[in-house]
């Protein structure tokens, strides 16, 4: 399929280019001393992604350890309630081991680290979701795991800190500055620049310098490949639309990659938080502009000084001031439509999916459900497939405390 001069039947092979660019977005903007380390990872990945041994090993792990393929569920009661005839379906990444899609790329990254002969994986974490997924993968492969985390976040996210420690990871407290995610990123980068001979840095989404946006997309593509085949098996046709939430953009790239070459409308949902004022949301593709941060060129939210702006969302996995370079590219191209959903509609969808379907969604995923409900009301007929990126156990206490039972 051709769309605005881009041939999508060969798109996944041709994008990004050899230097990690999706059009003008992407690249590798990092200090010279780390360029060689990133090149080593890119070279290793290029060799390994074609190796039968690597592919078979990852396939076996997906099945035997992660519990893949995850099913697709038809949301019959919710579809009936909307009442336009449009049918909603969810791809159940909440049923992937550890309860979200993040393990899909963490298992791939740590398997790569093992093939490269590394002994340790390093990462930062904010809410702790990436840290837990990486600690799980490190435990599986018998690797050391250092997770850098701001002191403020350590206090707020006690259950995830406990999980990481039980899984055998070292949680390293960062007390500089505001002691949250940004400082944790800086500390993890400093550690990596000293330890790259024996360690690799594992990024938690389709962001960061090349080759991470490529690798993480490829590792998440299993979601799109499974979903396309399962959906056709269930209904005999393709969905009319696919909807996913966008933080850094990994769960959405995973499912979108399976449908880019199909006549299927793709929707990325960004968090509008409390409203459209700077600081109240994290809708970077909707309100942002081009810029470089964390090693890559993309569309980002900047403050007056051009630094990454403060962001907010009720879903801590979505409050990032940019999104992966491939999303910026697909945004400019118009192949994916990006739109927003605020906190209130998200909380309604969180309770509605729980009550009507027996699935408690992560607040991140509830953004996609809320958007799909609105889309279904405008469509009249057809089918919408939602990527349910994770389960909501992690959010229950917070929702009840802040919003009560609805």
250 binds ligand PLP (CB under 6 A): yes
Proportion of the chain in helix, strand, coil states, percent, rounded to 5: 50, 20, 30
**Judged by CB under 6 A, which of 42, 187, 299, 362 binds ligand PLP?**
362
- Taking the least distance from each CB to ligand PLP, the nearer of 362 and 379 is 362
Q: How far is the CB of 249 from ligand PLP (least distance, A)?
A: 5
124 catalytic, yes or no? yes
Nearest distance, CB of residue 282 and ligand PLP, angstroms:
10
Instruction: Please list every residue from 182 through 221 that binds ligand PLP, using CB under 6 A.
Output: 205
Burial class for 237, CB neighbours closer than 10 Å (0-12, 13-18, 19+)? exposed
40: Cβ–Cβ under 8 A, 6 or more apart, which residues? 116
- Tokens (6 digits) for 122: 């390093």
Q: Considering only 28-36, 188-196, 243-251, 378-386, which stretch makes contact with ligand PLP by CB under 6 A?
A: 243-251
Q: Which is nearer to ligand PLP, 86 or 285 (CB)?
A: 285
Tokens of 130: 């990436």
Burial class (CB in 10 A: 0-12, 13-18, 19+), 115: middle
> Which residue's C-beta sits nearest to ligand PLP?
390
Among 128, 131, 247, 271, binds ligand PLP (CB under 6 A): 247
Residues 31-60 that bind ligand PLP (CB under 6 A): none
Per CB under 6 A, 284 contacts ligand PLP: no
Residue 364 is a binding residue for ligand PLP (CB under 6 A): yes
Site string for ligand PLP, 317-336 (x = CB under 6 A): xx------------------
Which of these is catalytic: 250, 252, 322, 389? Answer: 389
Nearest residue to 206 via CA among 263, 257, 269: 257
CB nearer ligand PLP, residue 283 or residue 379: 283
Q: Which part of the chain contacts ligand PLP (CB under 6 A), choosing from 19-27, 174-182, 244-252, 255-263?
A: 244-252
Q: How far is the CB of 195 from ligand PLP (least distance, A)?
A: 25
Cα–Cα distance list, 236 to 58, 160, 232, 292, 397 (Å): 29, 41, 5, 43, 40
Phi, psi of 273 (to 5 degrees): 55, -125
Cβ–Cβ under 8 Å, residues 148 and 181: no
Residue of 73, 79, 102, 316 marked active site: 102
Asked if 16 is part of the footprint of ligand PLP (rule: CB under 6 A), the reply reads no
**Is 198 a known active-site residue?**
no
Interface residue with ligand PLP, options 135, 390, 395, 399 (CB under 6 A)? 390
CA distance 248 to 270: 10
For residues 26 and 299, the answer to whether their CB atoms sit within 8 Å is no
Site for ligand PLP in 66-125 (CB under 6 A): 100, 102
Question: What is the C-alpha to C-alpha distance for residues 313 and 281, in angstroms, rounded to an integer?
Answer: 6
**Contact stretch for ligand PLP (CB under 6 A) within 71-79, 185-193, 242-250, 377-385:** 242-250
CB of 200 to ligand PLP, least distance (A): 19
52 exposure class (CB count in 10 Å sphere: 0-12, 13-18, 19+)? exposed
Piece of 83-91, 109-117, 276-284, 362-370 that binds ligand PLP (CB under 6 A): 362-370
Binder to ligand PLP among 70, 87, 284, 389 (CB under 6 A)?
A: 389
Tell me whether residue 248 or residue 342 sits nearer to ligand PLP (CB atom): 248
Q: Does 271 engage in binding with ligand PLP (CB under 6 A)?
A: no
Following DSSP, what letter does each residue of 179-225 receive, concatenated?
Answer: -SHHHHHHHHHHHHHHHTTTEEE--SSS-SSTTHHHHHHHHHHHHHH
By CB under 6 A, the count of residues binding ligand PLP is: 18
Containing H/E element for 80? helix 76-82
Which among 5-13, 71-79, 140-148, 241-249 is the span making contact with ligand PLP, rule CB under 6 A? 241-249
Q: Is residue 72 within 8 Å of 89, Cβ to Cβ?
A: yes
Nearer to ligand PLP (CB atom), residue 129 or residue 297 = 129
In the sheet with 383-388, reading across from the earlier edge strand, the strands are: 72-75, 87-92, 383-388, 241-245, 265-273, 336-342
Edge-to-edge strands, sheet with 199-201 = 170-174, 144-150, 120-125, 199-201
Catalytic residue among 93, 124, 345, 357: 124
Tokens, residue 84:
């336009």
Q: Which residues bind ligand PLP (CB under 6 A)?
A: 100, 102, 129, 205, 245-251, 317-318, 362, 364-365, 389-390
Residues tagged active-site: 102, 124, 389
């Amino acid at each position: 399929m051709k769309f605005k001069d881009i041939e999508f039947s060969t798109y996944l092979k041709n994008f990004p280019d050899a230097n990690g660019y999706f059009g003008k977005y992407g690249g590798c903007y990092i200090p010279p001393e780390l360029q060689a380390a990133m090149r080593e990872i890119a070279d290793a990945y290029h060799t390994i992604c074609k190796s039968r041994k690597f592919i078979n090993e990852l396939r076996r792990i997906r099945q035997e350890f992660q519990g893949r393929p995850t099913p697709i569920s038809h949301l019959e009661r919710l579809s009936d309630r909307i009442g336009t005839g449009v049918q909603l379906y969810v791809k159940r990444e909440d049923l992937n081991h550890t309860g979200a899609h993040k393990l899909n790329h963490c298992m791939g990254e740590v398997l790569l680290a093992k093939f490269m002969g590394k002994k340790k994986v390093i990462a930062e974490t904010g809410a702790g979701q990436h840290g837990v997924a990486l600690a799980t993968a490190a435990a599986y492969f018998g690797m050391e795991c250092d997770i850098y985390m701001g002191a403020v976040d350590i206090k707020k996210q006690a259950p995830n800190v406990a999980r990481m420690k039980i899984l055998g990871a070292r949680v390293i407290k960062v007390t500089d500055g505001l002691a949250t995610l940004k400082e944790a990123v800086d500390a993890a980068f400093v550690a990596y620049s000293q330890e790259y001979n024996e360690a690799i840095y594992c990024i938690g989404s389709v962001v960061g310098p090349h080759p991470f946006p490529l690798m993480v997309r490829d590792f998440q593509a299993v979601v799109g490949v499974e979903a396309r085949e399962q959906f056709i098996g269930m209904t005999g046709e393709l969905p009319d639309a696919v909807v996913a939430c966008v933080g850094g953009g990994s769960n959405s790239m995973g499912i979108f990659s399976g449908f880019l070459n199909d006549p299927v409308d793709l929707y990325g949902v960004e968090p509008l938080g409390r409203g459209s004022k700077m600081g109240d949301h994290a809708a970077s593709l909707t309100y942002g502009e081009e810029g470089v941060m964390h090693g890559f060129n993309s569309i980002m939210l900047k403050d007056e000084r051009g630094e990454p702006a403060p962001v907010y969302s009720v879903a801590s996995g979505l409050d990032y001031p940019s999104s992966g370079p491939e999303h910026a590219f697909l945004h400019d191209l118009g192949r994916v439509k990006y739109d927003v959903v605020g906190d209130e509609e998200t909380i309604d969808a969180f309770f509605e999916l729980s009550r009507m379907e027996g699935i408690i969604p992560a607040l991140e995923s509830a953004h996609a459900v809320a958007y799909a409900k609105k889309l279904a009301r405008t469509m009249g007929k057809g089918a919408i497939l939602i990527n349910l990126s994770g389960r909501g156990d992690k959010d229950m206490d917070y929702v009840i405390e802040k919003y009560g039972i609805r």
